[in-house]
Amino acid sequence: MTKTSYHQTAILVVGSCKLTSSIAVCLMQAGHRVTLYSDDCQAVQARIKTHTAAIDQLNLSALQGVDCEELSELKEPLEHRLAIVITPENLAQKGDVIRQLEAVLSPEALIAINTESLPLDALQQQAAQPERILGVNWTEPAHTTFFLEVITTSRNSDVLTEAFCETARSDWQKDPYQLHRGNGIRTRMLCAMIREAFYLVENGYVSVEGIDRGCRNDAGYYMPFAGNFRYMDLMGTFIYGLVMKDLNPELSKSRHVPQFFQDLIRQGNWGMDSGKGFFDYQQGEPEQWDARLQQFSYQISQLISKYPFNYEETKELTDAQPLMHD
């Protein structure tokens, strides 16, 4: 195994949100020894146990390796050659974490940090060794989804980046794509859609529920099979050109967050955990939704696996077995 491989190497995971725990499970499934550094280790470990229980209940392969270890502070030198970091979108907080990690990791260690809205250049400027700061965005739950967005600049080491992407493909069951200009695209596309949805709701064209039904029952139906461009090829690109020519001038170009959403945030209605977001939730409902999401994530992962991105012929497709359930 070459020095630049991360196959089954020890990995430091830094963070406290839901995504932190599913990333840890993803890595543990691949046989990595995972060390957790978090300001709420108890909550992260509890979510890890929930994920492992679901894996057992669904009779999937058991986790390899040992339980996730904990680190109480970043003081002593660490052996880890890879650190995966999940922090809020705050430049100062990200910079603090990067400096803490550089103080305890070896000079060769790679730091893969999430960055949805901040350019990677801004994070690399916080580092003594900018070439080892890699932008990496995941999606929840990380242990059942194929998504991985890898962001680089001209400063990044090609050797370290390729080693990371190869490990993601071979060990973590990811389908990564790499962006070379220092900015992610996943959140930009999502925010463009949300901006238009906000405009339509704010101006009385549709309800929040109508938006959700439209998205789920149209794009939600075909996107596990094909991305937007492949789907346009499938349906015929000409008609989309005609529609966009007429519709694009009317799409929202708003630069503000609508008042109804500002009110929602100001009132503390931050989603299921607070009992109210765009919809209301009774006690116990958030846990039910979370359990449903976990079950769905396994099912949709298996379905997507039957139809690879480039649609190579597989046994499942050759057999032409209908996808039916009782």
3-state SS, the chain, equals CCCCCCCCCCEEEECCCHHHHHHHHHHHHCCCCEEEECCCHHHHHHHHHHHHHHHHHCCCCCCCCCCCEEECCCCCCCCCCEEEECCCCCHHHHHHHHHHHHHHCCCCCEEEECCCCCCHHHHHCCCCCHHHEEEEECCCCCCCCCCCEEECCCCCCHHHHHHHHHHHHHCCCCCCEEECCCCCCHHHHHHHHHHHHHHHHHCCCCCHHHHHHHHHHCHHHHCCCCCHHHHHHHHCHHHHHHHHHHHHHHCCCCCCCCHHHHHHHHCCCCEHHHCECCCECCCCHHHHHHHHHHHHHHHHHHHHHCCCCCCCCCHHHHHCCCCCCC
pLDDT at 64 over 60: no
Measure the CA–CA gap between 184 and 150, rounded to whole angstroms. Answer: 8
Using only the alpha carbons of the chain, give its radius of gyration.
21
Mean per-residue pLDDT, 7-35: 96
Name 259's Cβ contacts closer than 8 Å, sequence gap at least 6: 202
Cβ neighbours of residue 22 closer than 8 Å, sequence gap 6 or more: 47, 51, 140, 141, 142, 143, 144
Q: How far is CA 16 from CA 9, 24, 43, 46, in A?
A: 22, 11, 8, 11
Question: Domain extents for the chain?
Answer: 11-179, 187-253, 267-309
Strand partners, 30: none
- CB burial of 74-108 (b: ≥16 within 10 Å; e: otherwise) equals eeeebebbbbbbbbeeeeeebbebbeebbebbeee
pLDDT at residue 310 in the model? 76
- Which residues touch 67 (CB under 8 Å, ≥6 apart)? none
Question: Who wins on pLDDT, 55 or 216?
Answer: 216
**Does residue 60 have a pLDDT over 70?**
no
The pLDDT value given to residue 319:
37
Provide the 10 A C-beta neighbour count for residue 27. 27
Least confident of 10-14, 221-225, 282-286, 312-316: 312-316
The domain covering 11-179 belongs, at the CATH homologous superfamily level, to: NAD(P)-binding Rossmann-like Domain (3.40.50.720)
**pLDDT for 65:** 46
Average pLDDT over residues 195-202: 98
Instruction: Give the whole-number percent of the chain exceeding pLDDT 70.
Output: 92
pLDDT above 90 coverage of the chain, percent: 84
Dist. CA 134–CA 152, nearest whole Å:
6
pTM > 0.95: no
| Long-range contacts of 295-303, Cβ-Cβ distance < 8 Å, separation of 24 or more | 295/54, 295/58, 297/141, 297/144, 297/145, 298/54, 298/58, 298/60, 298/144, 300/224, 301/144, 301/145, 301/146, 303/224
The pLDDT of 256-270, averaged and rounded, is 96
Q: How many other CB atoms sit within 10 Å of the CB of residue 111?
A: 23
Cα(293)–Cα(139) distance, rounded to whole angstroms? 13
